[in-house]
Amino acid sequence: MLTINFTPFPNLETERLLLRRVDKNDVNEIFELRSNPETMKYIPRPLVKTTEDALEHIASIDSKIDTNEGINWAITLKGNSKLIGVIGHYRIKPEHFRAEVGYMLLPEYSGKGIVTEAVQEAVKYGFEIMKLHSIEAIIDPENDGSARVLEKCDFVKEAHLKENEFYEGRFLDTVIYSIINKR
């Protein structure tokens, strides 16, 4: 079985990005991300309504890191510590050497290849450091932008599940993409 340890917290760097730990100073940006119907459009979770909610979300991110159940990074542009998005490994299944990657970005930063760059780095960390065998991404079938990002990052569409999630009174389809560590 896989042993996962996120202490000390691993900052990651790409050509343009620094992926760092989310902290309380990010509360306004976390609020902006999670309270915005546009950024949350394809994420079946309730909108954050107050900065207290945003602080609770940050505390839950911290607790998952501390217990090695999941990891989230703040996506920032090098030279600017402002959080513009988040990316992380969720629902880690150590017994299957598998995790789910998830991400979101403030709308004004969309279309610049930022998420693609962040996903590539998170995948590299997942395979090289966490020693995962596979990584999945679960998206809304209408989320074309996310599908394009995943395909650019060599993920393959594995499944389209019909009405497998119930949220706010209706059944939603989900699409599963994955990538297998070939190294």
**Tens digit of each residue's pLDDT (9 = 90 or more) over 76-116:** 999 999 999 999 999 999 999 999 999 999 999 999 999 99
Positive or negative: CA dihedral 120, 36, 18, 51: negative
pLDDT value at residue 152? 98
Buried b (16+ CB within 10 A) or exposed e, 49-62: eeeebbbebbeebb
End-to-end CA distance of the chain: 19
Angle at 114 between CA 63 and CA 167, to 5 degrees: 55
Q: Tell me the pLDDT tens digit for each residue of 52-67.
A: 999 999 999 999 999 9
Residue 1 pLDDT grade (very low, low, confident, very high; cuts 50, 70, 90):
confident
What range does the domain containing 116 cover?
13-180
Residue 61 belongs to a domain: yes
Establish if 8 belongs to a structural domain.
Answer: no
Query: How many helices and strands in the chain, by DSSP H and E?
Result: 4, 8
Quick check: is 23 in a domain? yes
Q: Give the number of other Cβ atoms within 10 Å of residue 17's Cβ.
A: 21
| Phi-psi category of residue 92: left, alpha or beta, with phi > 0 → left and psi -120 to 50 → alpha | beta
Residue with tokens 């019909």: 162
How many structural domains comprise the chain? 1
Asked, for residue 6, whether it belongs to a domain, the answer is no
Which SS3 state, helix, strand or coil, does residue 105 take? strand
pTM recorded for the entire structure = 0.96
Place of tokens 């998830």: 102
Residue 2 lies in a domain: no
Residue 155 lies in a domain: yes
The answer to whether residue 5 sits within a structural domain is no
Predicted confidence (pLDDT) per residue in 128-165, tens digit: 999 999 999 999 999 999 999 999 999 999 999 999 99
7 within a domain of the structure (yes/no): no
CATH number for the domain spanning 103: value is 3.40.630.30
